Amino acid sequence: MAGNAQAPFHILLVEDEPVIRELVRSMLSDGAVDVVCAANGIEGLKLARDRTFHLILMDVVLPQLDGVSVCRILKSDPVTAKVPLYMLTAKAKKADVESATQAGADGYIHKPFRGAELMDLVERLRAARSAAD
């Protein structure tokens, strides 16, 4: 993922599975993209409020506070509401997708996901950010 190293694209990944956290971090981090990870909903919520991110990837099933609840909180806060938030989860039933959408999620990526799908999403959002700057 080539890009401008002077203006990194910051991603928050909220995922309780260490293997998936490391997979996503290694797949997307390249100097132009910085991936910060949280292992539970409370930690993810705190990081999202304390730092500026350009994309949040959120699992639905998380310890302490589930991803849909975190999404709802972040999307109701004017400081974090405009940050694109995509659910990254194995919960693929129609009701799960509707619940995430009603909470304000901008998209839904099903596990197991394709690496190209995540990389395409990041590239699209980075290009849109660059065009807006």
State how far the Cα of 67 lies from the Cα of 62, in Å rounded to an integer.
6
* Model confidence band, residue 6 (pLDDT cutoffs 50, 70, 90): low
Q: Where are the domains of the chain?
A: 9-120
**pLDDT per residue as tens digits for the range 77-108:** 999 999 999 999 888 788 988 999 999 999 99
Strand, helix or coil for residue 29:
coil
Query: Residue 68's closest CA among 17, 36, 42, 102?
Result: 102
Q: What is the pLDDT of residue 43?
A: 98
Average pLDDT over residues 8-14: 96
Assess whether pLDDT exceeds 80 at residue 2: no
For residue 59, is it left (φ>0), alpha (ψ between -120 and 50) or beta? beta
CATH ID of 9-120, from 1.20.1260.10, 2.60.120.380, 3.40.50.2300, 3.40.50.2000? 3.40.50.2300
State how far the Cα of 1 lies from the Cα of 132, in Å rounded to an integer.
19
**pLDDT per residue as tens digits for the range 25-70:** 999 988 899 999 999 999 999 999 999 999 999 999 999 999 999 9
Strands 85-89 and 55-58, bridge-based pairing: parallel
